[in-house]
Amino acid sequence: MKKAFHNFLVFMLIVAGIIFLIGRNHFILGSLLGLSQVPIIIIGGWILWRRRKKSFGKNHKTLLVIVGLLIFNWSYEHIRRINLESVSGTEKEVSILTYNLYFKNKYHKQIINEIKKTDADIVVVQELTSAWDKSFKNAIYGKYKHRKTYVNDGTLGLGIFSKYPIESCEYIGTNPKFPINQIGKILVNGKALVVVNSHLASPAKAVENPDNFLFHYKANYQLRTKQWKQLEKYLNKGYKGIPQVIAGDMNTMKIEPLYREIRYEWKDLFAKKGWGLSHTFPNVAKIPMPVLTLDYILYRGNIKPIESEILKGSSSDHFAVFGKIKM
């Protein structure tokens, strides 16, 4: 019985490994690979270690190949993320805060106090409503004299608040009526820094319709991928050679293939300089702590990472992400 279970476990690990490797860019299979790759390597490695002094059967040889490929895949992904670029002339430290305010949030004071406390040089917010804009006008407009806002009483509002001059600001999206990326060119002591306030499409519809989850999640994943490709193409064309930061609610989990694609060109500030868990969502009473990472500060170009932190106190359904860079 024990041998039969052992062989069944080996068989399932082989099947899972093959499926995940073949479908590594699939919106579901790729996510499962990101979630289960390390457990499969650990369990498979343990089985192979137990068999090290015994003759390898056909199943164990196949498992050895699968585990080896998974280790290679994991190593390859991490090697591609290594920043081999030399960062020169970094002298000015800039702090950045990104916050999804939650458009239905009635408790503004806690978040405003947190913004004041962090005293970030640049603040980007998502779901900026007219009520939120009014609260900010009374509380932080004096501190942030340079502002660009797109107010919307749903989830589409965006705002950049800066202590440094905003030379230009553009809005883009796959639908011109609903911009989901706000691109600000900010002059930090005369040096240009592109700051993108991003709020990719939410998969809320999939979560709210569990009976048809896969259909809605696939549609959302495809839309987010399209939005990301549009943004990256736009930045490569119009802002090439300028240090760039993307901050916001990307609505993309770290296990998803899209996050892996993003990390090929962009560095995750918290992954580089943060400590502990990066989870930012959901901040609700029914769950003791957030379990997903949806909010990020990403960067590329002539930028040196300094620190990053998840601010674990919020009246929003998201935690904020704070970070410092040098440019």
Whole-number pLDDT of residue 286? 84
Q: What type of residue sits at position 95?
A: S
Is the pLDDT confidence value at 223 over 60?
yes
Whole-number pLDDT of residue 134? 96
Residues 34 and 127 in one domain: no
Residues 136 and 163 in one domain: yes
Whole-number pLDDT of residue 61? 77
Q: Has residue 88 been placed in a domain?
A: no
Average pLDDT over residues 312-326: 94
Q: Has residue 12 been placed in a domain?
A: yes
Q: Has residue 87 been placed in a domain?
A: no
**How many whole angstroms separate alpha carbon 236 and alpha carbon 311?**
31
Is the pLDDT confidence value at 13 over 70?
no
Residues 166 and 192 in one domain: yes
Residues 31 and 105 in one domain: no
Residue % of the chain over a pLDDT of 90? 60
CB within 8 Å of 137: residues ≥ 6 apart: none
Last residue of a domain, which of 24, 57, 80? 80
Residues 72 and 139 in one domain: no
For 102-180, where are the E strands, in sequence order? 122-126, 146-150, 158-162, 166-172
Q: Are 153 and 129 in contact (CB under 8 A)?
A: yes
DSSP symbol at 26: S
CATH of the domain at 180: 3.60.10.10
Residues 320 and 190 in one domain: yes
The count of domains in the chain is: 2
Average pLDDT over residues 250-271: 93
Residues 97 and 71 in one domain: no
Q: What is the pLDDT of residues 73-90, one digit of tens each?
A: 767 666 666 655 556 666
Average pLDDT over residues 89-118: 93
Q: What is the pLDDT of residues 138-182, one digit of tens each?
A: 999 999 999 999 999 999 999 999 999 999 999 998 777 788 999
Last residue of a domain, which of 46, 80, 114? 80
Residues 46 and 194 in one domain: no
CB within 8 Å of 146: residues ≥ 6 apart: 161, 162, 163, 164, 165, 166, 186
Q: Has residue 117 been placed in a domain?
A: yes
Is the pLDDT confidence value at 59 over 90?
no
Last residue of a domain, which of 47, 80, 113? 80
Range among 152-166, 205-219, 275-289 rated most confident = 152-166
Q: Which residue range(s) make up the domain with 114?
A: 93-326
Q: Has residue 115 been placed in a domain?
A: yes
CA-angle at 111, arms to 249 and 185, nearest 5°: 50
Residues 113 and 75 in one domain: no
Whole-number pLDDT of residue 117? 94
**How many whole angstroms separate alpha carbon 233 and alpha carbon 305?**
24
Q: How confident is the model at residue 302 (pLDDT cuts 50, 70, 90)?
A: very high
Residues 105 and 175 in one domain: yes
Whole-number pLDDT of residue 210? 86
**How many whole angstroms separate alpha carbon 300 and alpha carbon 305?**
10
Q: What share of the chain is helix, strand, coil (3-state, %, to 5)?
A: 40, 25, 35
Residues 152 and 288 in one domain: yes
Residues 62 and 154 in one domain: no
Angle between helices 108-118 and 130-139 (to 10 degrees): 50
Q: Has residue 85 been placed in a domain?
A: no
Q: Has residue 175 been placed in a domain?
A: yes
Whole-number pLDDT of residue 135? 96
Coil vs helix vs strand at 167? strand
**How many whole angstroms separate alpha carbon 170 and alpha carbon 183?**
5
Q: Which residues pair with 279 in a beta bridge?
A: none
Average pLDDT over residues 293-314: 95
- Work out the mean pLDDT of the chain and round it to a whole number: 87
Q: Has residue 152 been placed in a domain?
A: yes
Average pLDDT over residues 172-201: 92
